[in-house]
Homo-oligomer: A and B are copies of this chain.
Amino acid sequence: TDAEAVAAARARDAVLTKPPGALGRLEDLAAWYAGWRGVATPRVERPQVIVFAGNHGVTAKGVSAFPPEVTVQMVANFEAGGAAINQLALDANAYLEVVPLALNRPTADFTEGPAMSPPEAAEALAAGWQSVHERADLLVVGEMGIGNTTAAAALATALIGGDGWAGRGTGLDDAGLSRKAEIVAEAASRHAGLSPLDTLAALGGREIAAMAGAIARARHLRIPVVLDGFICCAAALVLHEVNPAALDHCVAGHRSAEAAHARLLEHLGKAPLLDLGLRLGEGSGAALAIHVVRAACACHSGMATFAEAGVSEG
Interface residues of A (CB under 8 A from B): 16-26, 64-67, 69-70, 73-74, 76-77, 80-84, 86-88, 90-92, 170-171, 257, 273-280, 284, 288, 291-292, 294-295, 298-299, 302-304, 308-314
Q: Whole-angstrom distance between the alpha carbons of A85 and B81 in the complex?
A: 33
Q: Whole-angstrom distance between the alpha carbons of A26 and B277 in the complex?
A: 8
Q: Report if A309-B76 is in contact (Cβ < 8 Å); known contacts: A24-B279, A170-B19.
A: yes
Q: Whole-angstrom distance between the alpha carbons of A313 and B312 in the complex?
A: 60
* Cβ-defined contact, B22 with A70, below 8 A: no
Task: Please report whether the interface of chain A is mostly helix, strand, loop or mixed according to DSSP.
Answer: loop
CB-defined A-B contacts under 8 Å, sample of 14: A17-B77, A17-B83, A19-B279, A20-B171, A21-B171, A22-B279, A25-B276, A82-B304, A82-B308, A87-B303, A88-B298, A273-B276, A274-B274, A288-B295
> What are the 9 tightest A-B residue pairs by CB atom distance, in nearest-first order?
A24-B277, A82-B304, A291-B291, A22-B280, A19-B170, A87-B302, A65-B314, A66-B314, A77-B309
| Chain B positions within 8 Å of A291 at CB level | 91, 288, 291-292, 295
Closest to A291 in B: B291
Q: Whole-angstrom distance between the alpha carbons of A88 and B299 in the complex?
A: 7
Q: Whole-angstrom distance between the alpha carbons of A20 and B169 in the complex?
A: 11
